[in-house]
Structure 1
Amino acid sequence: MSRPAVRVLRLGAVPYAEALRVQERCVAAARAARGPGAPPGPPAESVVLSEPARPLLAFPVLDLRRRRLPLRAYVAGLEALVLRLCRRLGLGAARALPPPFTGVWMGDSKLCAIGVHCGNHITSHGLALNCCTDLTWFDHIVPCGLEGKGVTSLSHELGQHVAVNHVLEPFLDSFQEVFDCTLVSSKEPGD
């Protein structure tokens, strides 16, 4: 049995608002693909990648009902894919914590924030992986509303500059493994 295809839209460095507009079009395409009069076949699923202010943002648009995947298991899947990526990069100490501490952590510092939305079983939003983020921004806020916790990046943890483009392929490989799909490049949500 073949694995379902998921479209990958690589936006590069675009304003956050543009990435959200593309994500909204992907959600609309996924909903339309399962509505009345839709052509037979699997719903249109996507993962939107963008790079505002240097973290890696990934907005998976997946149909959890079709995948028979509860929302909490989906969040755990996002954590698992980042943990696979971290192991590939040599960060075996990365870990997920029990709720309410979602995301991926190095000690008491968050490496990857996860925040998802799910409407009508279609996911949106997703994760922000700190690759080469300027961590001084977090000195002035309480990240994710968690007192006493810090923020870290791949660059900081690995002791070298890690650009987003260095982690894209291993990230996408991890995504395919965790969500049992085949990723295909796409220009638009409806391609």
Structure 2
Amino acid sequence: MSGGARRVLEAWRLGVVRYGDALQLQERLVADRKAGRVGDLVLSLQHPPTYTLGKRSEKAERNLLAPEHELRTLGAELHRTERGGDVTFHGPRQAVLYPILSLRALGLGARRYVEGLESTMIEVAALHGVSARPGDPGETGVWVGDRKIGAIGVRISSGFTWHGLAFNIDPDLGYFEHIVPCGIAGKEVTSLQREVGDWVELPADEVIHDQLVRCLARALGFTDVEFKDDSGDMIRSAAIVQS
């Protein structure tokens, strides 16, 4: 990126969105980004309880520790996706970012992009006094010691990104007991609240979502963030278009 150039990341605050609706919205926005109808943006949201499998679904299926009908009794949906990674859980009080970006326009390769997602979660953890790190070889995501606090699963198509990261603020960690998270056995899952201690009051989830967005923007070379709170109609229109 040329020195001094202004590059704006548009951030849509979407609240709680069902996984299928968010997926349809991403598909539409990736097509729009490829065609130049929208600029670089990121969806900031949470999901109702949802398990997702990565594109190597046969391997990911083996890391489901309960059949799909049992997951439904927990109130959770199951989705098979085209993202990278294995099986993971999304739910309330977990911050999810789905960046829709042109890596070529940013001058970034896939590895540098993933490192940007890692550093985003590490920086936000540090803002709250928690020391996190990238995973060791073979360990995706972001870790606090041997406990995973953030997951990464991306898809890159012709240099354009979708899917993204999930950062555990204070989700119900019991849901993770029904999977081998990200296919890594013998490791715990943690959250920001667990790491700071129950006696510490974290700011509202929305504040942490915005911290993640701003850290992401810096990590990827954006100079400004423009937040939008009125994007709910886009979810509804995407669902109509895809139906």
The TM-score with structure 1 as length reference comes to 0.87
Amino acid of the structure 1 residue aligned with 2:97: A
In angstroms, what is the RMSD of aligned CA positions?
Answer: 1.7
Structure 2 counterpart of 1:48: 43
Q: CA deviation at 1:95?
A: 0.7
User: How many equivalent pairs are there?
Assistant: 180
Choose from 191, 194, 197 the match for 1:153. Answer: 191
Q: Which runs of 5+ in 2 are unaligned?
A: 48-90, 235-243
Q: CA deviation at 1:76?
A: 0.6
Deviations 1:125-159 (A, max 9, x none): 00011111111111222111101111111111111
Amino acid of the structure 2 residue aligned with 1:44: G
Moved more, 166-175 or 131-140: 166-175
Structure 2 counterpart of 1:8: 11
Structure 2 counterpart of 1:57: 96
Q: CA deviation at 1:100?
A: 2.4
Structure 2 counterpart of 1:89: 128
1:170 aligns with 2:170: no
Distance 2:106 2:178 in 1: 40
1:25 aligns with 2:63: no
1:67 aligns with 2:106: yes
Distance 1:11 1:48 in 2: 7
Deviations 1:147-180 (A, max 9, x none): 1111111111111364522312322221222112
Q: Which runs of 5+ in 1 are unaligned?
A: none
Amino acid of the structure 2 residue aligned with 1:172: V
Structure 1 counterpart of 2:140: 102
> Helix, strand or coil: the match of 1:74?
helix
Moved more, 166-175 or 123-132: 166-175
Structure 2 counterpart of 1:79: 118
Contact 1:26 1:45 in 2 (8 A): no
